[in-house]
Amino acid sequence: MAWTMLLPIDTTVETTVGAERPLRMQHEGKENRSLSGSRIKGWVVAGFAVAGMAFFLRTFVLQGFMIRSNSMSDTLLEGDIIVVDRAALGTYLPFLGLRTPGYSSPRRFDILVFDLPSGRGKKTTFAKRLVGMPGDTILMQGKVLYINGEMVEEPYARRADVEDTAGPEMAWQIPYLTGEITPSTYFPTRDNWGPLVIPQRRYFVLGDGRDASVDSRHRGFVKPNQVRGRAIFISFSYDSHSRGGLPFVPAIRWERVGNAL
């Protein structure tokens, strides 16, 4: 009888203990899955927050650009990575047709980064020096720049002893001629053109590598809504045509890193 009475008790006890273990394990498994899910959710939220902050900074504050030609040499060289201050002039919002307020206005001799149409709905980004402001009268004679009748000293400009060139793309200048020049006798060239009157809300830009630059002489004025910002310094620079200490590694131009513009 004793064994008959104990067996159900012992069995009941064993069964109860055996049931508690799986339940605890299930509970712990749920906690672990919940913890893992919380971590993943936290990582996703953090990732979106970082991406959102990066997008905000890139769109409205600072943006980096790589220079891919020598049209601004020696100020900017191919392989320079420049930082552009987008907050200074504000950011144009194309879908709204508005520009966010900036803390300053474009200044003569700033290096502006801007977009120009390149066909098929695409745009090309340029970096050039702002030389002509709205209302200015500007011309060039024998590679020498004149603004409002005064010769401009341009220590940043690089000129070469090469043959002057002309092209039909410079005919856009004719409606903006001033003085006694008549359109029928106006034949502008790279080194001799103007005088032109710059309309309101338009800018005239030139490359520092004066004889190798396609700029306002050929493409026309730059509009405020095409301007991305003002270049402020060189964050990195390398010579893609030269090798450093290791094979296939381009030579870093340390002397240019951090240079203000």
Mean pLDDT per 10-residue section of the chain, whose length is 261 residues: 32 36 53 66 72 67 92 96 94 80 94 90 93 98 97 95 92 93 93 97 97 96 96 94 73 95 95
Same domain, 148 and 117: yes
Same domain, 40 and 141: no
Last residue of a domain, one of 60, 89, 106: 60
What is the distance between the alpha carbons of residues 258 and 253, in angstroms, rounded to a whole number? 11
261 part of a folded domain: no
Last residue of a domain, one of 9, 42, 60: 60
pLDDT of residue 250: 82
Location of structure tokens 């990582």: 43
Same domain, 4 and 25: yes
Same domain, 23 and 112: no
Q: What is the dihedral of CA 227, 229, 231, 72, to 10 degrees?
A: -10
pLDDT of residue 92: 83
pLDDT of residue 5: 30
Same domain, 52 and 143: no
204: β partners = 132
Same domain, 173 and 244: yes
Same domain, 23 and 146: no
38 part of a folded domain: yes
Same domain, 204 and 139: yes
37 part of a folded domain: yes
The DSSP secondary-structure symbol of 149 reads T
What is the distance between the alpha carbons of residues 44 and 47, in angstroms, rounded to a whole number? 5
What is the distance between the alpha carbons of residues 168 and 170, in angstroms, rounded to a whole number? 5
143 part of a folded domain: yes
What is the distance between the alpha carbons of residues 209 and 154, in angstroms, rounded to a whole number? 11
pLDDT of residue 1: 36
113 part of a folded domain: yes
CB of 94 closer than 8 Å to CB of 71: no
Range of the domain at 78: 63-256
The DSSP secondary-structure symbol of 223 reads P
pLDDT of residue 8: 34
Same domain, 151 and 89: yes
Same domain, 45 and 106: no
What 3-state DSSP class applies to 208? Answer: coil
Same domain, 167 and 245: yes
What is the distance between the alpha carbons of residues 254 and 233, in angstroms, rounded to a whole number? 14
Same domain, 234 and 193: yes
pLDDT of residue 240: 80
- How much is the pTM? 0.79
Q: Of 171, 219, 176, nearest to 195 (Cα)?
A: 176
The dihedral through the CA atoms of 124, 125, 127, 132 has a sign that is positive
pLDDT of residue 154: 96
Number of domains present in the structure of the chain? 2
CATH number at 191 reads 2.10.109.10
184 part of a folded domain: yes
pLDDT of residue 16: 33
What is the distance between the alpha carbons of residues 155 and 146, in angstroms, rounded to a whole number? 14
